[in-house]
Amino acid sequence: MTIVKNIFLLLICASTSYPQQTRPEKSNYEETSRYQDVMDFLDALKIDGKTMKLTSLGYSTQGKKLPMIVVGSVADTKPETIRKSGKLVVYIQGNIHAGEVEGKEAMLELLRELKAGKHAEWKKNLVLLIVPIFNADGNDVISLYNRPWQYGPIAGMGQRANGQGLDLNRDHMKLETPEVSSFVKMLNEYDPQVTIDLHTTNGSFHGYHITYSYALNPVIDQTLDNFTRNVFFPKVEGKMTAEQWRIHQYGDYLEKTPAGKPGYYYWVTEPRFNSNYVGFRNRLAILSESYSYISFQQRIASTKSLVVNILDVANADPKLIKETIRKADDVAMNIRTFDSLAVRAEIVESNPAQEILLAAVKEERNPYSNEIMYLMNEDSLKKIVTAEFYSSRATKKAKVPVRYYIPDSLQSVIALLREHGIQMTILKESERKTVQRFIIRENKMAEREFQKHKMRTLEGTFESVEQTIPTGTISVEMNQSLSRLAFYLLEPESEDGVVAWNFIDKYFGDGKYYPIVKVIE
C-alpha cells in the first residue's frame, strides 16, 4: 500500500501548489463544497473564455443556476459550434446524488488542473462539458446524519433527493425534474458521444477503491455493449491498475443472488437510470461509483483518476468511439430488423467464475455525530472466485412496429416524447389501416408509492384490427435514431414507459384497450 500512499502524498503536494483550494482541501477533508463554494471556486479560476468557457446546463428546482464548463478548442459554447467541431464531446456530471459528493470535488480539482495547462493533449480530440454540481439543491441540505455509515466527510453532506424530493437518477424516462429535463435538453442539443455520471456506492461491500458500470439492458445496441465492456473498459482498468487503484465493475457480493446462488451482482436495467438512458440513445454511458468505505480524500482522488483515464483512452482513439456510435445509430434507424425486443429485463449471469476482491470493514465513530461509520480494512483483502451477474435478458418481449399512432388527446405523452427529442409527425388526412391493438387483460397499480407514483403494469395481448386513424393523430415512425427509447416509452407492457409512470391513467376509456396502437406491416 505504500505506493498508493505515495500517490496520495504526491496528489496532496500537487494540490497545495494551486492558488485556489476546494473546501475539502481547506478543511482537512472534513467538509464538502456548498453550492456557493463551487461558484466561488469557478470564479477564482478566472475562466477567461479561451480554452475554458462557463455556461449553464439549466436551473435547479429552487432556481440555482447549474454551471457547465466547456473545455476545448471551440469558438463558443453554442451547441451547434460544439457538434460541428468534429471533436468527441464528453459530458461529465458530479453530485446527482448530493450525499455522494466526491465527483463534485474531483471535477473542481480537474478544472483547476485544466486551467493550469495540464492534459493539454485532450484539446486535440475532445471537448468536455463538465457539470460539477448537478443536484445543487440537495447538495446544500447538509446533515451529519445523511449517509452516516459513509466514511465522511464527517462534517456532513447533502441529501439524495433534489428540491422536489425526487431521486434524479430515477427520472430519466418520466422527466419530472428540471435538472434531468435540462440534462436531456443538453443531450438533444450537444449530442455528447460519451457521458460520465459520478456516484459513491450505496452499501455494497467489496475490496475495490472504485467501481464502474455502463448501460445494461437487452434493448441496448450489442456492438456498443461489446465495445464498452470488452474494448473500452479493459484499457481504462489497465491504466487504473497501473496507478495502483483497485477497480472492477460495480456490484455487490451476495451469498444468495436472485438466481439462488452466491455471486457478484448488479441490479440495474431500467432506462430511468442515467447510464441506461444514455445507452438507449446509442451513446457510450459510464457510471462511476467510488467506494463509500474509504477516506473522502481517496474517493476524490480515485474518482478523478478514473475520469482522467477514461478521457485519456477516449482521446487516444476517438474515431473508434464515433464509429461504434454511428453503427448503433444505424441499427436503431433500422430497428425493424429485430422481430421483437425486451419490454422488461433482468440481470443474469455473465461469467460463472470471476475473480472478485472482497474486504471486511472496521467500525469507527463520527467524532461529531457519534454515528458508526465503516472503513475498509486493508488487511482483510481476500480474492474469491464466484459467479458474476453482469448481463441482461428480456423477461418479456414485444414486436417492434413500423410506427405507433398516438391519439392527439394524449397531450402529456406527446409532450414527453417531444422533450426526449423523439421525432413525430401529425397525420394530415385520416387513414384506414390494419393496426395492432393491445387488449388489456390485467391493469394493476403498485400499492407502494415510488418516486411519488404508484407505478402501473399492464398485461394483455395484441390483436390485429382495421381502424380509421383520424386526422391529427400523432405518428411515431421507428426509422429514427431514438427508436429504442420510443419503443420502451410506448409499449404497453414496458416496465419504464408511459403506462408505468401513469401518463395514460386518464385515457383508458372503458378499460378494454391501450389507446396507442402500432403498425406491423
- Cα angle value 273/63/275 (rounded, 5°): 15
104, 110, 115, 121: CA torsion to nearest 10: -140
Range in contact with Zn ion (rule: CB under 5 A) among 79-87, 180-188, 197-205, 299-307: 197-205
CB of 169 to Zn ion, least distance (A): 6
Site string for Zn ion, 38-77 (x = CB under 5 A): ----------------------------------------
- Map the footprint of Zn ion across residues 206-265, applying CB under 5 A: none
CB of 93 to Zn ion, least distance (A): 11
d(CA 176, CA 188): 17
Instruction: Report if residue 104 touches Zn ion, rule: CB under 5 A.
Output: no
Which of 25, 100 has the CB closer to Zn ion? 100
Which of 100, 237 has the CB closer to Zn ion? 100
Range in contact with Zn ion (rule: CB under 5 A) among 18-26, 100-108, 229-237, 294-302: 100-108
Instruction: Report if residue 97 touches Zn ion, rule: CB under 5 A.
Output: yes
- Characterize 402-421 residue by residue with b for buried, 16 or more Cβ atoms within 10 angstroms of its Cβ, and e for exposed: ebbbbbeebeebbebbeebb
Residue 50: partners with Cβ closer than 8 Å, 6 or more residues away = none
d(CA 109, CA 19): 12
d(CA 286, CA 249): 11
CB of 251 to Zn ion, least distance (A): 14
Which of 202, 391 has the CB closer to Zn ion? 202
* # chain residues binding Zn ion, by CB under 5 A: 3
CB of 227 to Zn ion, least distance (A): 25
d(CA 87, CA 370): 50
CB of 100 to Zn ion, least distance (A): 5
Beta-bridge partner residues of 131: 93
Range in contact with Zn ion (rule: CB under 5 A) among 97-105, 180-188, 421-429, 486-494: 97-105
Range in contact with Zn ion (rule: CB under 5 A) among 111-119, 193-201, 215-223, 291-299: 193-201
C-alpha cell of residue 288: 462511476
Which of 199, 281 has the CB closer to Zn ion? 199
Which of 177, 282 has the CB closer to Zn ion? 177
Which of 24, 103 has the CB closer to Zn ion? 103
In what helix (H) or strand (E) does residue 113 lie, and over which residues does it extend? helix 102-115
Beta-bridge partner residues of 65: 59
- Cα angle value 335/341/343 (rounded, 5°): 125
Which of 290, 354 has the CB closer to Zn ion? 290
d(CA 19, CA 397): 57
Which of 94, 178 has the CB closer to Zn ion? 94
C-alpha cell of residue 178: 428540471
Task: Name the one residue in this structure whose C-alpha cell is 422533450.
Answer: 419
C-alpha cell of residue 213: 458500470
- Map the footprint of Zn ion across residues 5-34, applying CB under 5 A: none
Q: How far apart are the first and last CA of the chain?
A: 63
Instruction: Report if residue 199 touches Zn ion, rule: CB under 5 A.
Output: yes
CB of 285 to Zn ion, least distance (A): 14
Range in contact with Zn ion (rule: CB under 5 A) among 90-98, 188-196, 423-431, 439-447: 90-98
Q: Which of 422, 421, 359, 3 is nearest to 211 (CA)?
A: 359
CB of 103 to Zn ion, least distance (A): 9
Interface ranges with Zn ion (CB under 5 A): 97, 100, 199
